[in-house]
Amino acid sequence: MPPPGEAVYVPLSTLDDETVQTSAKASRSSSAGRYESNEWRSIWLSIIVSVLALGSALLLNSAVADVGILLQRKQSLARLPKMNPYPNFDTVGDLKKSRKMPRLWFPGVILRVNEEEPDREHISGSQVVLNETNSMFYRWRVRHPPSDSTCYIRAVVPTKAELEISNKSYIASGDTGALEVWNVTYPGQLHGITWNTKPTRIGLLGRLNFTSERGPEGAELRSPTPSFTCQEQVTVEISCPTCHIEFLQEFSDPMLAFDLQQLG
């Protein structure tokens, strides 16, 4: 223990050469490790940047190509012929002529004659009466029919539900499928004729079925008369000796009538 007040000498520690060399090696090893780590980081960063740049270039190239294709498509579409929104609209007139659409004619004369009152003159009107003693004369005027046009006569009978809506009705009994349509081809005036002066029957045009019923699967049971050559004036007598039919033939829907159809 040194005396109080005296300085104490503490010898400094010294490093030998081996210690110095070991420290230097450790320092160099640490520096080399950090350098290698930084170098790999730089390499990976360069690789990532290169991949991103390559991907961006590919996307840009694809986008430019798509724009070019779209421009080409627009130019190609512009060169395509424009479609007509109404194809064949200009041929409707020719189609109507070639198809010979039916044309409806309403009678100008509806006249009854009665065997029980052989000298009575009935006037033309809308009342239709058919039975064993009453028959009806119909006359249609067809405007300028072509030489090749044909006509037929039919009975038009709506369903009872349709008639109720329009406040129409009819009476029908007996064999309503045995109506006879006779050609009379009478050039004179029908007004003022009686049972005794009625036109002579020339030939039977056909038979009609006065019914609103349908057959299986909606099949039509009201066959018209066979077609015949249309003339400017068509006059017929309709009779039904085995049935009784009464109705008003008016020019309104639904049609309850005997009418003339023209083809061509």
Where along the chain do its domains lie?
A: 15-80, 102-263
Cα gap 175→169, rounded to integer Å: 18
Classify burial at 6, counting beta carbons within 10 Å of its beta carbon; exposed 0-12, middle 13-18, buried 19 or more.
exposed
Across all residues in the chain, what is the average pLDDT? 80
**pTM (2 d.p.):** 0.62
Quick count: other Cβ atoms within 10 Å of Cβ 237? 22
Q: Is residue 218 very low, low, confident or very high in pLDDT (cuts 50, 70, 90)?
A: very low
- Condensed to tens digits (0 to 9), the pLDDT of residues 145-169 reads 999 999 999 999 999 899 999 999 9
Residues of the chain above pLDDT 90, percent: 51
Classify burial at 174, counting beta carbons within 10 Å of its beta carbon; exposed 0-12, middle 13-18, buried 19 or more.
middle
Q: What is the mean pLDDT of residues 75-98?
A: 62
Please tell me which residue, 88 or 74, carries the higher pLDDT value: 88
Q: Which pLDDT belongs to residue 186? A: 81
With a CB cutoff of 8 Å and minimum separation 6, the contacts of 199 are 137, 184, 185, 186, 188, 193, 235, 237
Q: What is the mean pLDDT of residues 179-186?
A: 92
Tokens in use for 183? 């050609």
Q: What is the mean pLDDT of residues 115-126?
A: 95
